[in-house]
Copies of this chain bind each other. A is one copy, B any other.
Amino acid sequence: MKNKTAIAIHGGAGTILKTEMTAELEAEYRSGLENALKIGWKILQKNGSALDAVEAAVVELENFPLFNAGKGAVFTHEGTNELDASVMNGANLDCGAVAFVKNVKNPVKLARLVMEKTEHILLAGQGANEFAEQMKVEFENDEYFFTDFRYEQFLKAKAANKVQLDHTAEEKGFKVQSSKFKVQNEEKSKDKGQKTKDEIKSKIGTVGAVACDFRGNLAAATSTGGMTNKKFGRIGDTPIIGAGTYADNNSCAVSCTGHGEYFIKAATAFDVSARMKYKNLSLEDAANEAINYLTTIGGEGGLIAVDASGNVVLPFNSEGMYRGFVTIDNEINVMIYK
């Protein structure tokens, strides 16, 4: 039975071109992914639970500054870091999530506390922060979350956004016009032009983990800093159970990353589970179909998923996805490009 154990992680999907990556930066990313895999895998090998494994792996990814979660999160329009996370236990469908919490070192731990200590699933904003205080979770000051490249990225996005809004205001007399708000999206940019290393780093970063433990229990967790320069209390797919995260022992555990709004429209995480349960598809076929569907509605990104037999899939429709997995052969596999 112990052969079943498996873990997969991601550090975000988007435009990652090998031609624009340095050897040093790539090594940094790889070490971040490897460390998270090792921590999660060790828990599984000691007969620990899938839930503990995904939480520990995501904590490691949150603490790693190159990904957009925890330390290294992107900045909101107000220049603050607001964090979203969710976790789900496939054994009983219990789940918890938080949206735009501030100064919480590890939002995934807070999401687990929502799952275990409340009757609710999703807590948001100041209320979620009050809950975090009651739970005595670890807080960090603003400096902890600050990274130079995220701040530069924010300043650029804000400058670009301001120009656009000014332009709009001139045309329409400050009334909001029918064309949609142009908000910088960390993972939506189609600009394939000149990229600096900072730009490579700035596009990507939601993190997640899925695991199957030796009992065949599944779990999934996802964490993000959201979109650079986001406004109006936007909530993406990461804290939405069914969109960014889902786990059900009867099908699979899924963590998604990409342009969140499309994952909400398609209920992508649950969709993989539904295609397995209702169409009797394999994990691989269900995950590929879900990503194909996402593509047809214009969504970009990827997902990682595991089933109760320890199968792992990591499909995506973007240029690349920071990802890795370990299964029965004990080998650590880390990949970035297609």
The 8 A CB mask of A119-158 against B (1 = contact, 0 = none) is 1111111111011001100000000000000000000000
The 8 A CB mask of A183-223 against B (1 = contact, 0 = none) is 10100000000000000000000000000000000000000
CB distance from A278 to the nearest CB of B (A): 4
Known contacts A126-B233, A231-B127; A118 and B180 CB within 8 A of each other: yes
Chain B residues positioned under 8 Å from A270 (CB to CB): 242, 267, 270-271, 274
**Contact of A267 with B242 in the complex, beta carbons under 8 Å:** yes
Chain B residues positioned under 8 Å from A235 (CB to CB): 99, 122-124
A93 adjacent to chain B (CB < 8 Å): yes
**Contact of A128 with B279 in the complex, beta carbons under 8 Å:** no
CB distance from A279 to the nearest CB of B (A): 5
A100 adjacent to chain B (CB < 8 Å): yes
A46 adjacent to chain B (CB < 8 Å): no
A297 adjacent to chain B (CB < 8 Å): yes
A73 adjacent to chain B (CB < 8 Å): no
CB distance from A333 to the nearest CB of B (A): 30
Distance, CA A266 to CA B247, complexed state (A): 11
A241 adjacent to chain B (CB < 8 Å): yes
Known contacts A243-B242, A274-B271; A265 and B121 CB within 8 A of each other: yes
Known contacts A240-B242, A278-B279; A261 and B120 CB within 8 A of each other: yes
Known contacts A241-B265, A264-B242; A234 and B100 CB within 8 A of each other: no
**Contact of A93 with B130 in the complex, beta carbons under 8 Å:** no
Chain B residues positioned under 8 Å from A125 (CB to CB): 100, 124-126, 233
Given contacts A99-B235, A120-B232, A270-B270, 20 further A-B contacts (CB under 8 A): A93-B297, A94-B265, A100-B124, A118-B181, A119-B183, A121-B261, A122-B235, A123-B233, A124-B124, A124-B125, A124-B233, A125-B126, A128-B233, A131-B232, A241-B264, A242-B242, A242-B243, A246-B267, A274-B274, A278-B279
The interface of chain A, by Cβ under 8 A from chain B, is: 93-95, 99-100, 116-128, 130-131, 134-135, 176, 178, 180-183, 185, 231-236, 240-243, 246, 261, 264-267, 270-271, 274-275, 278-279, 297
